[in-house]
C-alpha cells in the first residue's frame, strides 16, 4: 500500500470507524459543553483540529527521537501535557498577533483545549503500538501521526456539528424537567453513536 | 464531626462528580463496559485526587496565582505517572484494560476542579477528606454504571457469567450514552423527591 493509500486508510479510521468523540469517548466535555449552537461548535471543532494536528507534529518526534533513545519513556505524560499547555498558549499569542479575525473566531476556545482529552489522547494514541498495528504498519512515522491527528480532529468537528444541529432542534421540545440539560444531551448523543456504529462494520 | 459528615455527603451525593457535576465524563463513558474497570479507574483517580489535594493545599501559599494552573497540572501529572508505573508493574491486566484513559487522568476535570475550587482554599486535612470522598463518589458511581452495563450487555457481573442473555446495545458506545443519561435523570429525580419530602416534613412541624 502506497503512502496515499495509508493516509486514506487513516482518514476513514480516525474520522469514522474510531471517531474520537462517539466511539473512543475523547473530548466529551467540549462535545457537551460547547454544542449549544452551530457557530460555536464549528469554532471549537476547527480550533481542536488545529491543535491536534500541531500536537502530533511535536509530541511524536519528542517521544521517538528524544525520550526513547534516552530511556525516559515513563516521563511521557508529564512531557506531553507540558508541551500541549505551552503549545496552546503559543498558538493563542501567534494568532492574536497575525490574524485578529481568526483570533476572534476561535480565540475563546483555545484556553479550554489544554484540558481536552482528545488532544492528550491523540498524543498517546499515535505512540501506541496498537494504533499502528490496527493500520497494518510497524510504526506510525511522523507523516502518518500528523495525518491521524488532523483527521481525528475532523472527526471531532463532524460529531460536534451534528450534535449542535440536533440540540438546536431538541431544545424546543417539551421535555420532563428531570431530563432537561445533560440527560437529553446524552440521549441525543446516543443516536449519533448509533449512526456511527454502522461504520464499525466496514472492514478495510 | 459535623464538618466531616458535610464533606462526606458533599462528595458522595450533593456534589457527586459523575451524576451531579458531570465531570470526568470520558472515562465514565469509556470504561463502564465492566464493573471491575470502574473500581480500578475509580481507585486510581481517588489516589491521585487525595495526593494532589494534599500537596496543593500544602503549597497554596507558595504557588503564585498566575501560574497556578500549570503548577497544578504538573503536580497531577507526577502522581498519574506514579499510578501508571505501579499498575504496569503489579496489575498489568488492569493497566491494559484502562489503556489510554490511564494517562488521561491528568486532564480529568474532577481533579483540576477540586484543586482549584477546594484544595487551594482549605486546610490540609479537609482537602484530603474532600479528595477521598469525591474520589469515592466517582468510584461508586462508575462501578454502579459498569455493573448495570455489564449485566445487560454481557450477562455477567465482575466477570462471572450470570446467564446467556445479553443486549449488545448496552455494550456498544451508544449504550454508554444511554445508560449515563438514564442514571443522571434518575439521580436528579431521587434528589428532587427527597428534597420535596424534607420540605413537606418541615411544613408539618410548623
pLDDT digits (tens, 9 = 90+) for B85-111: 999 899 998 888 888 888 888 888 888
Q: What is the pLDDT of residue B17?
A: 83
Average pLDDT over residues A79-102: 84
- How many CA within 13 A on the CB side of residue A125? 29
Of the pLDDT bands very low, low, confident and very high (cuts 50, 70, 90), residue B26 is confident
Q: What is the pLDDT of residue B44?
A: 92
Contact call for B177 and A29, based on CB within 8 A: no
Q: What is the pLDDT of residue B198?
A: 86
Contact call for B109 and A81, based on CB within 8 A: no
The rounded mean pLDDT for chain B is 87
Instruction: Give yes or no for residue A88 having a pLDDT over 90.
Output: no
Of the pLDDT bands very low, low, confident and very high (cuts 50, 70, 90), residue A146 is very high
A55, A105, B38, B46 from B86: Cα distances, Å: 27, 43, 18, 15
Q: What is the pLDDT of residue A107?
A: 66
If contacts are CB pairs under 8 Å, which of residues 84-143 in chain B contact chain A?
A: 84-85, 100, 103-104, 106-107, 109, 112
Cα-Cα-Cα-Cα dihedral sign, residues B133, B139, B140, B141: positive
Q: What is the pLDDT of residue A5?
A: 85
A39/chain B closest Cα distance in angstroms: 24
Residue found by looking up cell 499547555 in the block: A85
Average pLDDT over residues A32-36: 83
Of the pLDDT bands very low, low, confident and very high (cuts 50, 70, 90), residue B1 is low
Residue A150 CB partners (closer than 8 Å, separation 6+): A49, A52, A53, A56
- How many CA within 13 A on the CB side of residue A108? 8
What is the C-alpha to C-alpha distance for residues B71 and B46, in angstroms, rounded to an integer? 20
Q: Residue B157 carries which DSSP code? A: E
Q: What is the pLDDT of residue B55?
A: 93
Kindly state whether B176 is in contact with chain A, defined as any CB-CB distance less than 8 angstroms. yes
Q: Grid coordinates in use for A175?
A: 421535555
Q: Which residues of A touch B185 (CB under 8 A)?
A: 178-179, 183
Instruction: Give yes or no for residue A33 having a pLDDT over 70.
Output: yes
Q: What is the pLDDT of residue B162?
A: 81
B131/chain A closest Cα distance in angstroms: 20
Q: What is the pLDDT of residue A1?
A: 60
What is the C-alpha to C-alpha distance for residues B122 and B136, in angstroms, rounded to an integer? 19
SS3 string of chain A?
CCHHHHHHHHHHHHHHHCCCCCCCCCCHHHHHHCCCCHHHHHHHHHHHHHHHHHHHHHHHHHHHHHHCCCCCHHHHHHHHHHHHHHHHHHHHHHHHHHCHHHHHHHHHHHHHHCCCHHHHHHHHHHCCHHHHHHCCCCCCHHHHHHHHHHHHHHHHHHHHHHHHHHHHHHCCCCCCCCCCCHHHHHHHHHHHHHHHHHHHHCCC
Of the pLDDT bands very low, low, confident and very high (cuts 50, 70, 90), residue A113 is confident
Of the pLDDT bands very low, low, confident and very high (cuts 50, 70, 90), residue B7 is confident
Instruction: Give yes or no for residue B47 having a pLDDT over 90.
Output: yes
Contact call for B181 and A125, based on CB within 8 A: no
Q: What is the pLDDT of residue A191?
A: 92
Amino acid at each position: 500500500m502506497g503512502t496515499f493509500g495509508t493516509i486514506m486508510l487513516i482518514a476513514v479510521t480516525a474520522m469514522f470507524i474510531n471517531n474520537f468523540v462517539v466511539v473512543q469517548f475523547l473530548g466529551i466535555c467540549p462535545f457537551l459543553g460547547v454544542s449549544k449552537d452551530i457557530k460555536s461548535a464549528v469554532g471549537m471543532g476547527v480550533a481542536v483540529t488545529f491543535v491536534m494536528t500541531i500536537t502530533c507534529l511535536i509530541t511524536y518526534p519528542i517521544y521517538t527521537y528524544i525520550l526513547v533513545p534516552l530511556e525516559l519513556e515513563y516521563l511521557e505524560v508529564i512531557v506531553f501535557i507540558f508541551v500541549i499547555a505551552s503549545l496552546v498558549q503559543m498558538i493563542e499569542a501567534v494568532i492574536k498577533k497575525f490574524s485578529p479575525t481568526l483570533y476572534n473566531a476561535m480565540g475563546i476556545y483555545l484556553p479550554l483545549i489544554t484540558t481536552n482529552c482528545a488532544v492528550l489522547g491523540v498524543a498517546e494514541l499515535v505512540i501506541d503500538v496498537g494504533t499502528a498495528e490496527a493500520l497494518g504498519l510497524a510504526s506510525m512515522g511522523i507523516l502518518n501521526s500528523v495525518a491521524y491527528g488532523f483527521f481525528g480532529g475532523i472527526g471531532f468537528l463532524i460529531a460536534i456539528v451534528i450534535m449542535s444541529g440536533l440540540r438546536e432542534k431538541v431544545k424546543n421540545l417539551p421535555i420532563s424537567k428531570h431530563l432537561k440539560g445533560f440527560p437529553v444531551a446524552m440521549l441525543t448523543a446516543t443516536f449519533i453513536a448509533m449512526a456511527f456504529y454502522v461504520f464499525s462494520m466496514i472492514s478495510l | 464531626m459535623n464538618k466531616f459528615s458535610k464533606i462526606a455527603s458533599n462528595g458522595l451525593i450533593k456534589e457527586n462528580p459523575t451524576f451531579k457535576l458531570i465531570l470526568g465524563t470520558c472515562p465514565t463513558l469509556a470504561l463502564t463496559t465492566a464493573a471491575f474497570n470502574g473500581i480500578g479507574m475509580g481507585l486510581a483517580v481517588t489516589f491521585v485526587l487525595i495526593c494532589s489535594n494534599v500537596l496543593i493545599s500544602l503549597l497554596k501559599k507558595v504557588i503564585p496565582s498566575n501560574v497556578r494552573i500549570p503548577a497544578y497540572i504538573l503536580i497531577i501529572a507526577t502522581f498519574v505517572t506514579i499510578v501508571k508505573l505501579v499498575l504496569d508493574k503489579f496489575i498489568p491486566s488492569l493497566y491494559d484494560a484502562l489503556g489510554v484513559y490511564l494517562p488521561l487522568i491528568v486532564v480529568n476535570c474532577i481533579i483540576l476542579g477540586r484543586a482549584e475550587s477546594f484544595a487551594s482554599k482549605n486546610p490540609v486535612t479537609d482537602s484530603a477528606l474532600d479528595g477521598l470522598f469525591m474520589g469515592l463518589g466517582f468510584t461508586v458511581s462508575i462501578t454502579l454504571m459498569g455493573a448495570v452495563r455489564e449485566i445487560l450487555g454481557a450477562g455477567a457481573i465482575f466477570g462471572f457469567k450470570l446467564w446467556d442473555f445479553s443486549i449488545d446495545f448496552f455494550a456498544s458506545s451508544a449504550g454508554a450514552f444511554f445508560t449515563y443519561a438514564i442514571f443522571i435523570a434518575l439521580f436528579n429525580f431521587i434528589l428532587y423527591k427527597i428534597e420535596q419530602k424534607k420540605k413537606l416534613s418541615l411544613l408539618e412541624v410548623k
